[in-house]
Amino acid sequence: MICLRDALVATPDGMVQGDVLVGPERIERLGGGRAETDLELGGAWVGPGLVDLHAHLRQPGFEWKEDIASGSRAGAAGGYTALVAMPNTDPAVDAGHRARFVADLARQVGLLEVTAAGAITLGRHGQELSHLDELWSAGVRLFTDDGDTVADAGLLRHAMEYLAERGGVVAEHAEDAGLARGGHLHEGSASSRLGIRGIPALAEEVVIARDLALVKLTGVRYHVQHVSTAGSVGLVVEARCQGHQVTSEVTPHHLTFDHTHTKDLDPAFKMYPPLRPPADVEALKKALAEGLIDAVATDHAPHAAYECEVPFEEAPRGVIGLETAAAAVNSALDLDPVTFFTRMSVAPAAIAGMGNQGRWIEEGAPSNLMAFDPEAVWVPQRFLSKSENSPFRGVKLRGQVRATIFSGRMTYLAGA
Amino acid sequence: MKHLLSIDDLDRSGIEELLDLADHFTEVLGRDIPKVPALRGATVATLFFEASTRTRLSFEKAAKALSADVLNFSPATSSLSKGESLKDTVLTVQAMGTDLMVVRHAAAGAAHRVASWVDCGVVNGGDGAHQHPTQALLDALTLRRHFGKLDGLAVAIVGDIRNSRVARSTLAAFVALGATVTLVAPPTLLPVDMSGWPVNSTTDFDEVLEGLDVVYMLRIQLERGSGPVLPSLPEYVDRFGLSRHRFARLPREAVVMHPGPMNRGIEIDPEVADCNRSLITAQVSAGVATRMAVLFRLLAGKRQP
- Do the Cβ atoms of B196 and A189 come within 8 Å? yes
Q: Which of A182, A188, A265 sits opposite B109 (nearest CB)?
A: A265
Residue of A291, A406, A407 whose CA lies nearest to A339: A291
- Do the Cβ atoms of A192 and B194 come within 8 Å? yes
**Does the CB of B83 have a partner CB in chain A at under 8 Å?**
no
Q: pLDDT value at position B223?
A: 66
Q: Count of CB atoms within 10 A of residue A398's CB?
A: 16
At A326-366, the pLDDT tens digits run 999 999 999 999 999 999 999 999 999 999 999 999 999 99
At A83-134, the pLDDT tens digits run 999 999 999 999 999 999 999 999 999 999 999 999 999 999 999 999 999 9
Count of alpha carbons within 13 angstroms of residue B228, beta-carbon side: 6
**Does the CB of B86 have a partner CB in chain A at under 8 Å?**
yes
Task: Considering only residues A398 and B83, tell me which one the structure prediction assigns the higher pLDDT.
Answer: A398
Section A150-174 average pLDDT: 97
The DSSP symbol for A122 reads G
**Mean of the per-residue pLDDT values for chain A?**
97
Largest pairwise CA distance in chain B: 59
Whether A157 and A129 have beta carbons less than 8 Å apart is answered as: no
Q: Over its length of 305 residues, how does chain B's per-residue pLDDT go in tens digits? A: 899 999 999 999 999 999 999 999 999 999 999 999 999 999 999 999 998 888 999 999 999 999 999 999 888 777 777 778 899 999 999 999 999 999 999 999 999 999 999 999 999 999 999 999 999 999 999 999 999 999 999 999 999 999 999 999 999 999 999 999 999 999 999 999 999 999 999 999 999 999 999 999 999 877 665 556 888 889 999 999 999 999 999 999 999 999 999 999 999 999 999 999 999 999 999 999 999 999 999 998 765 44
Sheet of A80-85: strands edge to edge? Answer: A50-55, A80-85, A113-116
Nearest CA in chain B to A185: B108
**Does the CB of A395 have a partner CB in chain B at under 8 Å?**
no
- Do the Cβ atoms of B117 and A189 come within 8 Å? no
**Does the CB of A265 have a partner CB in chain B at under 8 Å?**
yes
Residues paired with B154 in a beta bridge: B180
Which residues of chain B make contact with A188, given a CB cutoff of 8 A?
Answer: 192-193
**Does the CB of B193 have a partner CB in chain A at under 8 Å?**
yes
Which residues of chain A make contact with B196, given a CB cutoff of 8 A?
Answer: 189
Q: What is the DSSP string of B272-290?
A: HHHSTTB-HHHHHHHHHHH
The length of chain A is: 416
Question: What share of chain A in percent tops pLDDT 90?
Answer: 96
Q: pLDDT value at position A68?
A: 98
Q: In which band, very low, low, confident or very high, does the pLDDT at A38 lie, cut at 50, 70 and 90?
A: very high
Distances from the Cα of A336 to the Cα of A11, A339, A350, B243, angstroms: 14, 6, 20, 67
Distance from CA of A19 to the nearest CA of B (A): 50
Whether A75 and A52 have beta carbons less than 8 Å apart is answered as: yes
Rounded CA gap, B147 and B170, in Å? 17
Query: Phi and psi for B26 in degrees, rounded to 5?
Result: -60, -40
At B19-76, the pLDDT tens digits run 999 999 999 999 999 999 999 999 999 999 998 888 999 999 999 999 999 999 888 7
Count contacts between A and B (CB, < 8 Å). 74
In this structure, which long-range contacts are made by residues B81-89, counting pairs with CB atoms below 8 Å and at least 24 apart in sequence?
B85/A306, B85/A309, B85/A310, B86/A309, B86/A310, B86/A311, B86/B49, B86/B110, B86/B113, B86/B114, B87/A306, B87/A309, B87/A310, B87/B113, B87/B117, B89/B47
Active site residues of A: 299
Which residues of chain A make contact with B113, given a CB cutoff of 8 A?
Answer: 265, 309-312
Where do the H-state alpha helices sit in chain B?
12-29, 54-65, 86-95, 110-117, 133-147, 165-176, 205-208, 233-240, 244-249, 270-274, 280-299
Section A365-392 average pLDDT: 97
Query: Phi and psi for B161 in degrees, rounded to 5?
Result: -65, -40
Q: pLDDT value at position B227?
A: 54
Q: What share of chain B is helix, strand, coil (3-state, %, to 5)?
A: 45, 15, 40
pTM of the model: 0.94
**Does the CB of A194 have a partner CB in chain B at under 8 Å?**
yes
Residues paired with A199 in a beta bridge: A186
Section A214-219 average pLDDT: 98
**Does the CB of A19 have a partner CB in chain B at under 8 Å?**
no
Whether B183 and B216 have beta carbons less than 8 Å apart is answered as: no
Amino acid found at B173: A
- Do the Cβ atoms of B163 and A195 come within 8 Å? yes
The DSSP symbol for A141 reads -
Please give the angle made by the CA atoms of B91, B95 and B100, to the nearest 5 degrees.
80
Question: What share of chain A in percent tops pLDDT 70?
Answer: 100
**Does the CB of B110 have a partner CB in chain A at under 8 Å?**
yes
Beta-strand runs (E) in A216-334: 221-224, 246-250, 295-296
Section A376-392 average pLDDT: 97
Chain B 219-278, CB below 8 Å of chain A: which residues? 225
Whether B292 and B25 have beta carbons less than 8 Å apart is answered as: yes
Distance from CA of A182 to the nearest CA of B (A): 10
Which residues of chain B make contact with A189, given a CB cutoff of 8 A?
Answer: 193-196
Distance from CA of A272 to the nearest CA of B (A): 18
Distance of CA A365 to the CA centre of its chain: 23
